[in-house]
Structure 1
Amino acid sequence: MDIAILTVLNKIGELGSFASSEYSRLKDVDLQVSDLRSKLEFLMAWIQVAEEGNRIKRDQLVSVWVSQLRGAVFDAEDIIDEYIQELHRPGGENRPPVVEAKARTRRGRSFVSSCFPFRSVEEVAVRHSLSRQIREVLRRLDEIQRNSLFNMQPRVDALANTIQVFDRPTADTLKCGDPWTLVGLDGYTQSIIGLLHKDNGKREAIVIVGESGIGKTTAARAVLQSQDVQKHFDVCAWVCLPPKSRVDKYLDLILEQAQLQTHLHCRRREGVLDKMKLLVVLDGMDNIDELMDVLSELPRGTKGSRIMVTTQLQIKKIEQCIPGIRPVEIKCLKRPDCLKLLCRGLSGNPRRVYDAHKDKFDEKIYDISGGLPLAVVLLRGLVYFKDHEAQWNEVFELLKSYQHKRLIKRILTVSYTTMPTDLKLCFLYFSAMPPNIYVDLDKLQRLLSAEGILKSTSRVMGVEEEEGCLDMLVSRGLVQRVEGGTKLCIHQSVHGFAKTMAHETGFMEAHSQFDIRDTSIVRGLSVHNYVDRRVSMEKFLPKTRTLLGDFAEDYCVDEAVHPSGSHAISPKGLKNHSRLEFLCQSRFLRVLDLQGIQLGKLPDNIGRMIHLTYIGLRSCGLKDLPSSVAKLLNLETLDITGNDIQTVVDEFWNIEKLKHVLAKKLSLPVSSASMSLVTNLETLHGVALSSVGPQENSSLNKMRKLLSLAVVSVTATNVLTLALALQEINGLRHLKIAGDCSPVTFPCTRLCSLELDGKVLLDDASAQSLNSSCSFTKCRLVLRSSCMSQVLLDIFLSNLLLSELALLDDSFIGSKLFLRKGPFCDIEKLRIGNLKLLEELVIESETTLLNTIEIFGCPNMKTIQGLKNSEYLKNVVLFDMPEIVAQIKAEDKELFYKIKHVRTEAWESET
């Protein structure tokens, strides 16, 4: 026994001696990580120089060298991520938080070095292994860099001379007009409008044909937005879906737009749509079989209904398959229109340079672009930030070096070559989005921030980094603003180039199914499947950092239908739902964003995926989240909109880095003590306050950095809690409150939009107090069910600068509504709907900026006064008001021609 004890003591002594000798070496792992990070920063810049210069000189040895170097960089990223993963294995959850040191890499990701002392023998082993792997990577990098066999240094140095100075515009130069303006297409649009108005008693299809980038979509949008077209049809629907989308998805989108435009809620597509005069635009239908399938299933509509199609298909092929169509072929711009389009978006120094050298530049511009509008827009983007003649000439010379490429690819290559790294990453991220499909700007910014490509998603003051990058892409003509700048989309030709570059650089792979050939090397994956919602994945994605997916949103045949008409998941369907178990092997996953996928639950051990910064699971049928999500210490965004998740474990709200939470109806913890660390939240949508607990110590009180807040289920028991919390949040830009009632005070001074759905109970004293304490900026205001009188409405709005006002669903309870000078003088858009008691509307002459007015659901409305005083008025939409329309027609012909009168009585029996 004594010998056994002595042996154990000797081993302990040996272990202590080993520990003291190893510590001095293993503690240097942090320094090794720092050295690796510095070397990678240098090498990534070198890769960019070599790669972009090589696009001009096309040195095959340089291509191999860049490929090897990129592979070594990827391995280094894997080492660091694996190290962090190992340090957060079960048993290590209570260790001190990792101290981060961020550095830009290929994707703008963060390398992390830990500086806390060793806690276990396992940690010593991890650090020992890491030290060995880092030394191996450093040796490999040095060997690639100093490859004497091919003498790479002079080759790369020579390539550096071919690269132009990157565009680094100031914030003042970022804001530009829409580069996708309508130039040279007026004749085509008038011709199309004439065909739409020509009534021969049957539904016809008008097909706009032309090559990619010729302006088909631009012309179709201009036609759809025409006041004459809007008045001529009951419903004007725009449908643009990715290839291989199911036909019923087209029908659902048409029905959705019909309901929005007619304010009718239809349970089914048949019947109602057939009684409307429809204009349906099918954008980007480049597959003849899909086009024929969709045309055969579209609702017929009433006499005079029309279908408009944009396509790259040949006219002869369409006429052979679909007889009776009316083709309109768009051709390239003539020289004057080409130059006019170029000048439309130029300003400042670039415009002065062009005007000073117009004679020399005009011929080059027309020869390069060939009059193709997309080429003109992209070329303008290349010179948009060029302030000197020499810089313009450099662009022209650089384009000459790519004569072997086709027109659009040539300009895109030069544009991509001259981008700074952060802008390239922003651009390549659009390869994961479907072409021509609108992408929400706020969502895109959250994704880019989570990826580490952009630093911040805050947009309170000035031009932030992500807004600057996206504005630069717009200025270059690479992406387009739509829907008032709230969404972006990328042209199909530009998307094809971005997809190719993303594949070549290993940034992102895009597929229609999970049928990737070699999943072991995929680092970014985007899947768009519009056929079904199920994921069948037999292989793992061990290296993947980003997984984006968009799936069919309707339920499958094995799902039960509730008697009320809503869908309910059957037990059989639940068994067949994916749980994404294969993702448990994706240890390095940072961004998970899936739309419409059929899920039962998330993996219980998702909390071990400590690199996750973004979880987006929208319309996935989820009902709860595993408690382990609280262990995701790096999580910035949780987007679970469209699901029925109502609670999440209280510890989740203590994630310090959490910035954005979006849900349908998610309860906050009762006590603010459960949210002591949530101080960085910027977005909080779809949350319900508790009706118990102290009103002065609510969960919202800690969230003083909120920029956007949407609260649901506000009641009389928690409305005071909300009011007190709002007094602590002074930076709100967007506020939406829904429930039985709404608070009466809003001390925020920078609101851009305010939506109140519920009674606003104001007396004169409280309203005057509100009036004296608020100073709002120009904003959009929507009131629903607020039950306000004229007096209280005037007081409530007296200091508001309104750009848009919507009074809906008994928000006003008087019989006579005055739009007086003061609060209403700056209104540009007015919507009045479902005010059952309203009989008369009076618009005072001072409301001169009003350009759009829409009135519906007001059965007792008898007169509207003051419309002719609004000189900017362009669009008036009135629903079921024949007497008022007849009165206006008799008194003011000019005003009458601005009115679109929609008659919905004929549809009521089908709704």
Structure 2
Amino acid sequence: MAETAVGFVVEYLTPLLIEEAKLQRNVRSEVLDIRDELQSVKCFLKDADMKAETEDDSVRDGVKEWVKQIALVSFRIEDVIDEYIFHLATHHPRGGFIGSLCRFGHCLIKLTPRHQIASQIQDIKVKVRQIKERRERYGFDRSIIQQDGSTATTSSAASWYDPRKEALYLEEAEVVGIDSPRDELIGWLLDKQQTHRTAISVVGMGGSGKTTLAKKVYDSVKQKFDCHAWITVSQSYQKVELLKDIIKKFCEGNKEPAPERIDEMDEETLINKLREYLLQKRYVVVFDDVWKVDFWGDIEHALLDNKNGGRVVITTRNREVANFCRISSFVHVHRLKPLPHDKAWQLFCNKVFKFDFEGRCPTYLAELSHKIVHKCEGLPLAIVAIAGLLSTKDKTIREWQKLHDSLSSELESNPHLASIRKILSLSYSDLPYHLKSCFLYFGMYPEDYSIRCSRLIRQWIAEGFVSQKKDKTLEEVALEYLAELIHRSLVQMSKVDSRGRLRICRIHDLLREVVVKKMESSFCHIVDGNESTLKGEIVTRRLSIVNNSCSTVLQDADQVSQVRSFLNFNNDQSQTLLNYIFIPGTLAKNFKLLKFLDFEAAPIDSIHENIGNLFHLRYLSLRGTKVKKLPRSIGKLVNLETLDLKQSFVSEIPAEIRRLHKLRHLLGYNRDLTVHSCIARTKGIKLKQGFGSLKSLQKLYELDVNEMGAELIEELGKLTQLRRLGIRNLRSEYGRILGECIEKMKHLESLEVTATSDDDVIDLENMSSPPQFLQRLYLNGPLMKLPEWIKKLQNLTAISFSWSKLKDDPIQNLKNLPNLLDLEIKRDAYVGDELQFEKGMFPKMKELDLRYLSGLERVVIEKGSLVNLERLCIGPSPQMKKVPSGIQHLKNLQYLRFYDMSDDFKKSMKPKGGRHYEIVQHVPRVSISYTRDGGKFETFRLF
């Protein structure tokens, strides 16, 4: 945790303070000294964390205190900067921070005491030097920065724990659920048709059984090769030593002596020796637990491609390791999945009841046992370790319940479960510091919580975790961070849309337990009902309130005064918390440095005028609340980057918002979920004159323009950085003005336009140069015809039409869009009777939605069309009497769903006797849904 705090200060905060350090002579050099000292200390933090995990109690406690002091001094630097900026804002409320920099020296005179900033910096400098001096007594090893930003210690002692050895000697009872992946890997290894060298990667999170699977496969095939070797790779291996190990293991497997004086050979000689040895041989070598992304670059020349069927197996937690092999080799990748529940249950029972109850779980323990297995989420390491612990305990409900309820503390203290904590901790330790902060953030969410990716990355940005990169937005960089965490098998994708965009993510529950333990000292305090007050020794920078009384949690002003972020999940206490934060006097005293406030889905109905005093606030979410009005003081939040009002009752934004020049995301609408198939079911937000000054806006969704007038709509043309724009209630006469504005938005990726009613035409015909990067287009309302400019959108991946009343088949005008993945034609967007998909059309399309087309009678799908379609939804279309012809050609179709079709239509698809069954029999899932009272669907699965 200290590493993330130090890294944050060095990279983000110190440069800012240096820029401002003209306030007094010598302060600039003092800050530079602090930065350099912290940078040198940072190099030893990785080894310190390892010693804190492994040394005896006397050393461990001292090391943990040393690490804690580093975090504290880093926080003090952040405090100095934030308090100064806050002070400056209160003395120059109109000029703003940037405009006041030139008067910085003059402002210092007004500080009380006069040398407050300088004296605090001097004190920090002394503290940092004391910390550095104490480092020497613990003998920490220096870490070096890898190319991927991760760190590795210079000492060979870094391999303080090797969890893989346990996996090499598992009993048969502890190996279940590997038959299918084992057969797949053996098939790749023994494929005689592929004579070129092939790299086979087994990828999965720590403890998922990669080593176990690879070892079983290796043992079953190694004798079919001329030579074989199993290499366990350390996180900080030396290339020369690795090459020596490969040669020795090959020779050992064939009972041959290693080359003379091998230990004296240099890298080039070793590579030549290996190539010479393998020249005529068919070989297999396994590299177990590879961490370094470019590992393949260290071995590819030594393991030559002799066209004799050489095979290289790599087990890794990082998918990028596997991708790197593609540079010069044929590649197969097996993504190891969690055990399904039945296999997990079998493994659990094999271990815990091996000598009792004839290997079966007794009935009275079944419910609790299933809960414990569910907690493991199919992770073999966790199942085996926890089952092993339970096998030593009395087989009573009381003992089982105690473990279930205290699993978090047991992971930390029980030696039987040490392997879980250590293996999962390795993945965290290998992260570069900027990803450590991002990963720790998952611990702020409750257990089993599905996290919206868009919410998460905005929070990371607000926290300052995301670094700016040339030619990329912060949001794009944050998505790269998230993708890397997924590639490292730390984060699981719960939902990905048809365009491959991440929607929902989560982390394994046991991995979350490790995260929570790592972050509790200084990153975040979770209030979950297990304690009523904050611990005095904990530095509280972030609060995640899950379940507790806010009044008791926040009663210690000294503790909450350092809080930067509130994330609230305790809806029952939401109004209590808000009332406390905004008590006059309390806000300025205790929460003046708050940067992040998230009350999503909280049942609050108002927000206090005092919110304007949260000068540092960057993120404010009132999504899903009952708040109806924002105070005018919202205009004082000049550092605000995200204002999320979706599904709140806010319909009008105060004019003062025009001052928020850093605002990147303005999200607001309210959708009436009780109304279906109505163009007016969604209400947008209204903006007032001057909103064109919000030039940093990336997303504006959804803006109600019905009463704005031409002059106000023209202000949209000033928002040239927009990536996503949603327009509501567009009147026909303003279509041309909107089109001219859209043409100026060169970076626009997503556009939605909705008419005032299903009779008011959307007129965007005048657009001749639409944004070339547009990927998603949604037009909701009547169209005279399909706009010609749509044909120019070569990057378009999704398009949707609703209430368009098109008479001509729109498919003909869309057929040449090469990257279209998702097509929706809904709510009488087309009023003709037939849609025809000709051969060769839409080769990349994944989803097709033809809904509420009342006049549609026939859908014809020619062979060779929609060849990659995975999901098809049709109906209600009362005129359609037959299952669309051509569905039998859609070999990749996974899901077919019809809506409100007749009983005869339904019967025609039945497996027994259905006349159209042969058309749909290849589809894994076919269902039909019927509208019931309230507009909800009741769905029946046919097969």
TM-score (norm 2): 0.62
Q: Counterpart of 1:627?
A: 632
Task: Look up the equivalent residue of 1:75 and give its one-letter code.
Answer: R
Separation (CA, whole Å) in 1 of partners of 2:129 and 2:84: 22
Q: Counterpart of 2:11?
A: none
- SS of the aligned residue for 2:693 comes to coil
Separation (CA, whole Å) in 1 of partners of 2:887 and 2:826: 20
Rate the CA distance shift 1:575–1:538 in 2: closer, same or farther, 3 A: closer
Matched, 1:473 2:485: yes
Matched, 1:592 2:597: yes
Task: Look up the equivalent residue of 1:50 and give its one-letter code.
Answer: A
Q: Counterpart of 1:761?
A: 784
Q: Counterpart of 1:701?
A: 717
Matched, 1:451 2:463: yes
Rate the CA distance shift 1:893–1:341 in 2: closer, same or farther, 3 A: farther
**Alpha-carbon distance, 1:140 to partner:** 2.4
**Alpha-carbon distance, 1:483 to partner:** 1.2
**Alpha-carbon distance, 1:708 to partner:** 1.6
Q: Counterpart of 2:509?
A: 492
Q: Counterpart of 1:883?
A: 904
Q: Counterpart of 2:755?
A: 739
**Alpha-carbon distance, 1:355 to partner:** 11
- SS of the aligned residue for 1:759 comes to coil
Q: Counterpart of 1:509?
A: 525
Q: Counterpart of 2:49?
A: 51
Residues 368-767 of structure 1 correspond to what in structure 2 (within 5 A)? 380-381=316-317, 385=321, 406-456=418-468, 464-484=476-496, 485-504=502-521, 506-512=522-528, 515-518=532-535, 521-529=539-547, 537-540=554-557, 541-552=560-571, 580-581=582-583, 583-584=587-588, 585-664=590-669, 665=683, 667-671=685-689, 674-689=690-705, 691-694=707-710, 698-740=714-756, 741-744=761-764, 747-762=770-785, 767=787
Equivalent residue for 1:141, pick from 99, 117, 128: 128
CA contact (8 A) 2:888 2:922 kept: no
Rate the CA distance shift 1:134–1:675 in 2: closer, same or farther, 3 A: same
Matched, 1:893 2:918: yes
CA contact (8 A) 1:812 1:835 kept: yes
- SS of the aligned residue for 2:110 comes to helix
Rate the CA distance shift 1:421–1:814 in 2: closer, same or farther, 3 A: same
Matched, 1:95 2:95: yes
Separation (CA, whole Å) in 2 of partners of 1:580 and 1:215: 55
CA-to-aligned-CA distance 1:764-785 (integer Å, 9 cap, x gap): xxx44x256x232241222211
CA contact (8 A) 1:592 1:614 kept: yes
- SS of the aligned residue for 2:630 comes to coil
CA contact (8 A) 1:447 1:614 kept: yes
5+ residue gaps, structure 2, are 1-20, 152-172, 182-207, 220-231, 234-241, 254-283, 291-312, 326-412, 497-501, 670-682, 938-943
**Alpha-carbon distance, 1:29 to partner:** 4.5
Task: Look up the equivalent residue of 2:778 and give its one-letter code.
Answer: E
Rate the CA distance shift 1:81–1:42 in 2: closer, same or farther, 3 A: farther
Task: Look up the equivalent residue of 2:569 and give its one-letter code.
Answer: D
CA contact (8 A) 2:532 2:552 kept: no
Matched, 1:865 2:885: yes
**Alpha-carbon distance, 1:421 to partner:** 0.8
Equivalent residue for 1:783, pick from 796, 801, 806: 801
**Alpha-carbon distance, 1:622 to partner:** 0.9
CA contact (8 A) 2:774 2:793 kept: no
Q: Counterpart of 2:156?
A: none
Separation (CA, whole Å) in 1 of partners of 2:98 and 2:287: 59
Separation (CA, whole Å) in 2 of partners of 1:910 and 1:685: 27
5+ residue gaps, structure 1, are 1-22, 100-112, 171-209, 220-330, 343-348, 367-376, 389-401, 557-572
CA-to-aligned-CA distance 1:386-444 (integer Å, 9 cap, x gap): 999xxxxxxxxxxxxx9986222111222222222112111111111223322111221
CA contact (8 A) 1:166 1:418 kept: no
Q: Aligned pair count? A: 664
Task: Look up the equivalent residue of 2:432 and give its one-letter code.
Answer: P
- SS of the aligned residue for 1:890 comes to coil
Separation (CA, whole Å) in 2 of partners of 1:64 and 1:335: 38
CA-to-aligned-CA distance 1:119-169 (integer Å, 9 cap, x gap): 56862436522222222222222233234xxxx33634x4226x7957449
**Alpha-carbon distance, 1:73 to partner:** 2.4
- SS of the aligned residue for 1:868 comes to helix
Task: Look up the equivalent residue of 1:507 and give its one-letter code.
Answer: F
**Alpha-carbon distance, 1:502 to partner:** 0.6
Rate the CA distance shift 1:166–1:853 in 2: closer, same or farther, 3 A: same
**Alpha-carbon distance, 1:828 to partner:** 2.4
Q: Counterpart of 1:71?
A: 72
Task: Look up the equivalent residue of 1:870 and give its one-letter code.
Answer: L
CA contact (8 A) 1:53 1:160 kept: no
Q: Counterpart of 1:274?
A: none
Separation (CA, whole Å) in 1 of partners of 2:211 and 2:517: 31
Matched, 1:80 2:67: no
Question: In terms of mean alpha carbon deviation, does 590-599 or 785-794 score higher?
Answer: 785-794
CA contact (8 A) 2:550 2:576 kept: no
CA-to-aligned-CA distance 1:348-379 (integer Å, 9 cap, x gap): x99x999998989869779xxxxxxxxxx997
**Alpha-carbon distance, 1:501 to partner:** 0.4
Rate the CA distance shift 1:689–1:28 in 2: closer, same or farther, 3 A: farther
CA contact (8 A) 2:640 2:662 kept: yes
Rate the CA distance shift 1:910–1:821 in 2: closer, same or farther, 3 A: closer
Identity of aligned residues (%): 21
**Alpha-carbon distance, 1:643 to partner:** 0.9
Separation (CA, whole Å) in 2 of partners of 1:744 and 1:340: 61
Question: In terms of mean alpha carbon deviation, does 743-752 or 720-729 score higher?
Answer: 743-752
Rate the CA distance shift 1:748–1:534 in 2: closer, same or farther, 3 A: farther
Question: In terms of mean alpha carbon deviation, does 537-546 or 31-40 score higher?
Answer: 31-40
Separation (CA, whole Å) in 2 of partners of 1:632 and 1:731: 26
RMSD: 4.7
Separation (CA, whole Å) in 2 of partners of 1:748 and 1:836: 33
CA contact (8 A) 2:88 2:107 kept: no
Separation (CA, whole Å) in 1 of partners of 2:569 and 2:842: 42
Separation (CA, whole Å) in 2 of partners of 1:631 and 1:872: 54
TM-score (norm 1): 0.64
User: Higher relative contact order by CA 8 Å / sep ≥ 6: 1 or 2?
Assistant: 1
Question: In terms of mean alpha carbon deviation, does 535-544 or 126-135 score higher?
Answer: 535-544
Separation (CA, whole Å) in 1 of partners of 2:753 and 2:176: 45
Rate the CA distance shift 1:669–1:822 in 2: closer, same or farther, 3 A: farther
Q: Counterpart of 1:108?
A: none
CA contact (8 A) 1:428 1:498 kept: yes
- SS of the aligned residue for 1:516 comes to coil
Rate the CA distance shift 1:722–1:642 in 2: closer, same or farther, 3 A: same
Q: Counterpart of 2:63?
A: 62
Separation (CA, whole Å) in 2 of partners of 1:479 and 1:910: 34
CA contact (8 A) 2:33 2:125 kept: no
